Amino acid sequence: MFRRLSDRASGEITFTFDGRPITASAGDSVAAALLAAGVRACRTTPVSGSPRGPYCMMGVCFECLVRIDGVDNRQGCLVIVQEGMRVESQRGSAALMAEPAQ
Amino acid sequence: MGACVAWGLARQGLRVCVLDEGDIALRASRANFALVWVQGKGLGLPAYTAWTKSAAEAWPCLASELLSDTGVDVGLDQPGGFTLCLSDRELQVNVDMMMRLHNQPNTVIYPYEVLDHTQTRARLPAIGPEVSGSIYCPLDGHVNSLRLFRALHAAMKARSVDYRADHVVTAIEPRAGGFALKGAWGEVRAPRVVLAAGLGNARLAPMVGLEAPMKPSRGQIIVTEKAAPFLRYPVVTVRQTDEGGIMIGDSEEANASSLRIDHSISSVMADRAIRMFPLLGDLNVVRTWTAFRVMTPDGSPVYEQSETCPGAYVAMAHSGVTLAPQHAFSLADYIATGTIPKEAAVFSTRRFRVPASV
Amino acid sequence: MTGGTLSREQGIADLVDDYDVIVVGAGPAGLSAATTLAGTKARTLLIDENQTPGGQIYRAITLAQPVDRQRMGEDYWRGRSIAEEFLRSGAEYAPATTAWSIQPLQDDPGRTAGHEVGLSSSGMARLIRAKQVVLATGALERPFPIPGWTLPGVMTAGAAQIALKTSGLVPSGKVVIAGTGPLLYLLAAQLIDAGAMVSAVLDTTPRENWHRAFRHAPGFLVSPYLAKGLKLLKSVQRRTRVIRWVSTLAAEGEGGLREIVWMTGGREQRMPADLLLLHQGVVPNVNFSNAAGCDHYWDEAQLTFRPQVDEWYASSVAGLSLAGDGVGIRGAEAAAIQGRIAGLGCASQLGLIAPVERDRLADPLRRSLARAMRGRRFLDELYRPAKAFRVPQDQDTTVCRCEEISAGQIRASVNAGAGGPNQMKVFLRCGMGPCQGRLCGLTVTELIADERGTHPSEIGYYRLRFPIKPLKLRELAALPQTDTAKVAVLADLADTHHSTDLVERKSQ
């Protein structure tokens, strides 16, 4: 869906998306890194479960929501990808997985 | 309130016209917490406890009538509700209050349980360690207030209520055999008029020899993004809507001048919600708002017919959702027949004029 | 802190509590306003959502290489000096920071003594005070509600441009660009230059726009846009298929885009596509100014709501100025000039420059602004999106992407009693999702107006609430809590003694 211009590749960053290792360029937003890796849909909607992917890339549409390092509903286009980051598809509403503190 | 009464009157075969404000108005119906709530209500006026309890009992009937009139399911859920306490002192104060309520003469009795942390946790597994205990009342519940609003509008339409938006009433003039209601839009006449204009009643009531005593009361609410279901029961300050969003409220201040959000109040409410349910901490807040309550001096409703202008009624309550069945059924009966039901006679403004005897 | 960039490691915890001015948005207007204010020795904080200055138009400009200059063009490169000047200005800068609230502070009832701005960065929220605030929140793309616009593989043209600027990403596979507006052919040219395979440009500009636009041609003939525009058009036509007078458009596919369907000259046509880039102009991003309570009005030429400002870009809310495309679409060059004028206005309000000096400095700026705005009416007329693409004709077309509400549902609700966008929210939850109406607000206003047979100015817009960008409940819970607030929540249960002690100890 997108490819990177050879003159724009900078330091390599490795992260995972739904467990799959992906190589990104330093400074990429999570959404850009996913587009470069051929990922079209990164979430399903809470209302109908239909698939969605990045739309505006400027923080206004909230379509590129993903789970990042266990936190749901992060805007992928506003978060810079970091080495070892665990990115997952956002499935519907935010999950409330955390165990209540004992 | 207005929509409930209008629909109720139309159900009895009356021809009803609703004069409403526009798209932006101080609407309690758009700014409520959507609880159908019995516990804790009626201290100082036991009749309010009874009125509330029978409202909660009539809610399934209202919900099914609305469903059959409109096809809209208002999402009524009455699994019982909790008051969660974050210290032993909080719990004690709430327990004392419930006991005082039930010790009032001539009050109705309803069931409730006082639960410690472990007992609370058995029913609300997501609570945090700071929850010292709770009060559970099986009569409590909640609805989807947005769908209730839509259902009432659809129900009015289904019953041929003449609903007119952008019709602010500026004057009401008693005329032979009725009233003339006027505004920039023109005039309508009717033999009977019901003032259910919330805060606007303060302005309108004196035009027909009525009073609408209110004290300033401002509440603030926080709403989060949608989340997977985690809360089986409504808590008086935290509820999860059937769409998934969490509503957190509600504060009360004696403020009637500004709808400016007080972030400090949001902070206290958010902090308490997280201490009650630690897993809420990472949820995104998508909205906060403030609204003015339609709060009478003692917090109980006011229903009254004008003595000087018979046919004019005033109706006010801050629990418009809880009391909706009373407004659609009993209050509509009262207005249609002119005879106030015995259990509602106490809700006149006369109670504010005599020295408190209860 | 004595000025200069905050490093990301420090974050917003290191900001002081009070500034003379907070500027929101690091596009041309915000950068210029902050630079101007810092130049008058105002203690200035610029906060911005992105990692580097430039806004959307000059996105990633400080990281750009000479090869990007060639690729993106001189108009893009011009942002470099604006950003560099800002970075040297002595203004403090908080990148990767979201502003989510702004509220007036009152010393006496009714008298505004500045504002309190809610900020959030890296999971921490702060409330920072400023005597003056400049909102330079720029523009966003006008909603383009066509059937299938929610499918993965359909994006805005601006999104593709941002991906190119920030990460050097070029669409691969079969790419279609569709819509109208100055950016359409610019993007097509940029993408083709960068090696993308653009299958077609579907131009939705209605034929009658050309007639209307030429009434304003004299202005346009002297505008810098003309030569640039014509050159772009030729360059694109030479290298890809340009299909004009497109009257309907739909994206199709299961789970993702596969095909594009359109009508032109009364004939339906289809084309397979991997990526559809939509654009029909940009509109002011008014979410912040709306929630802040600024007065807005409907601009029929730009088919959008615009905040009311005076000649110094002061809004109807005291101490709050607005500059750049957030006030009305004028383009990057005009935005930069507006930012400087707004900066002078604020500096004068702060007593840092005398009104005479302010007027003297603003004079040449106003002349440049008039020059930069020449031909704008022509562009507004020419690129006025057709009604069919603003007010969906197909009942099933999604309007509110977040709550998945269709045009048909909105029309039906109007007839059920939802006469305005705020009643509509209650009826349908329309506009209540995370984007807070940014992608449906204008469509909803125009749809309701259409259904009621009235004008958008009669209908109005969503009334928006803080936070205008989401923040975590945890962040809200960590904000300072006053005793009054505790009493408001807990009444007589509020334990205020402890915090009173703290306050007393602190003040000793």
For the residues B143-165, what does the mean pLDDT come to?
Answer: 94
Residue C500 has pLDDT above 60, yes or no: no
Per-residue pLDDT, C80: 96
For the residues C217-234, what does the mean pLDDT come to?
Answer: 75
Split into its structural domains, chain A has a count of 1
Confirm if B131 and B85 have CB atoms less than 8 A apart: yes
Q: Which of C382, C402, C433 is the last residue of a domain?
A: C382
Residue C427 has pLDDT above 50, yes or no: yes
User: What range defines the domain where residue C484 resides?
Assistant: 478-507
Quote the radius of gyration of chain C (alpha carbons, Å).
24
Q: Rounded to 5 degrees, what angle do the CA atoms C175, C145, C454 make?
A: 150
Residue C504 has pLDDT above 70, yes or no: no
Q: Which residues pair with C282 in a beta bridge?
A: C141
Domain membership of residue C470 (yes or no) is: no
- Which of C150, C156, C160 is the closest to A52 by Cβ? C150
C314 shares its domain with C265: no
Domain membership of residue A16 (yes or no) is: yes
Q: Which residue has the tokens 């009361």?
A: B217
Domain membership of residue A97 (yes or no) is: no
Domain membership of residue A99 (yes or no) is: no
Per-residue pLDDT, B256: 78
* CATH code (residue A63): 3.10.20.440
Per-residue pLDDT, C396: 97
Domain membership of residue C202 (yes or no) is: yes
Q: Can you point out the beta strands (E) in B141-283?
A: 141-142, 162-164, 171-175, 178-183, 186-190, 193-195, 218-226, 238-240, 245-248
Residue B342 has pLDDT above 50, yes or no: yes
- Which of C67, C402, C433 is the closest to A7 by Cβ? C67
Confirm if B53 and B139 have CB atoms less than 8 A apart: yes
Q: Beta strand pairing status for A43-44 and A51-52?
A: antiparallel
* pLDDT range class, residue B358, cuts 50, 70, 90: very low
- Phi–psi pair at B325, nearest 5 degrees: -65, -35
Q: Most C CBs within 10 Å: which of A23, A55, A65, as the mutation test of the C interface? A: A55
For the residues C35-52, what does the mean pLDDT come to?
Answer: 96
A54/chain C closest Cα distance in angstroms: 7
Determine whether the interchain pair C274/A45 forms a contact, defined as Cβ–Cβ distance below 8 Å.
no
For the residues B173-187, what does the mean pLDDT come to?
Answer: 95
Determine whether the interchain pair C167/A8 forms a contact, defined as Cβ–Cβ distance below 8 Å.
yes
Taking only the tens place, the pLDDT of each residue in C318-339 is 999 999 999 999 999 999 999 9
Per-residue pLDDT, B298: 93
Split into its structural domains, chain C has a count of 4
- Phi–psi pair at C39, nearest 5 degrees: -65, -20
Q: Which residues pair with B136 in a beta bridge?
A: B82, B113
Question: What residue in A sits closest to C122 (Cα-Cα)?
Answer: A79
Instruction: Compute the mean pLDDT over every residue in chain C, rounded to the nearest whole number.
Output: 91
Domain membership of residue A101 (yes or no) is: no
Residue B151 has pLDDT above 50, yes or no: yes
With beta carbons under 8 A apart, name residues in chain C contacting B153: 416-418, 427
Taking only the tens place, the pLDDT of each residue in C14-28 is 999 999 999 999 999
* CATH code (residue C125): 3.50.50.60
Q: Does B9 touch chain C (CB under 8 A)?
A: no
The third-level CATH classification (topology) of the domain covering B2-71+145-214+297-349 is: FAD/NAD(P)-binding domain (3.50.50)
With beta carbons under 8 A apart, name residues in chain C contacting A68: none
CA–CA separation, A87 vs A96, rounded Å?
17
* pLDDT range class, residue C375, cuts 50, 70, 90: confident
Q: Where are the alpha helices (DSSP H) in A1-102?
A: 30-36
Residue C110 has pLDDT above 90, yes or no: no
Lowest mean pLDDT among A6-10, A20-24, C453-457: A6-10
A88/chain C closest Cα distance in angstroms: 17
CA–CA separation, C499 vs C496, rounded Å?
6
Question: Residue A58 is which amino acid?
Answer: M
With beta carbons under 8 A apart, name residues in chain B contacting C417: 153-154, 156-157, 163, 165
C415 shares its domain with C403: yes
Instruction: Compute the mean pLDDT over every residue in chain B, rounded to the nearest whole number.
Output: 94
* pLDDT range class, residue C317, cuts 50, 70, 90: very high
Q: Does B355 touch chain C (CB under 8 A)?
A: no
Per-residue pLDDT, A102: 33
For the residues A10-39, what does the mean pLDDT come to?
Answer: 95
Domain membership of residue A27 (yes or no) is: yes
Per-residue pLDDT, C107: 72
Domain membership of residue C288 (yes or no) is: yes
A73/chain B closest Cα distance in angstroms: 8
Q: How far is CA C381 from CA A37, C228, C232, C307, C378, in A?
A: 40, 18, 19, 21, 5
Domain membership of residue A18 (yes or no) is: yes
Domain membership of residue C262 (yes or no) is: yes
Domain membership of residue A81 (yes or no) is: yes
Q: What is the dihedral of CA C180, C183, C185, C188, to 10 degrees?
A: -120
Taking only the tens place, the pLDDT of each residue in B53-83 is 999 999 999 999 999 999 999 999 999 999 9
Residue B118: which H helix or E strand, with range?
helix B117-123
Both structure tokens of C397: 């077309």
Per-residue pLDDT, C436: 92
C427 shares its domain with C339: no
Domain membership of residue A76 (yes or no) is: yes
User: What range defines the domain where residue A33 resides?
Assistant: 6-91
Domain membership of residue C372 (yes or no) is: no
| Sequence spans of domains, chain B | 2-71+145-214+297-349
Q: Most B CBs within 10 Å: which of A44, A75, A96, A97, as the mutation test of the B interface? A: A96
CA–CA separation, B110 vs B114, rounded Å?
13
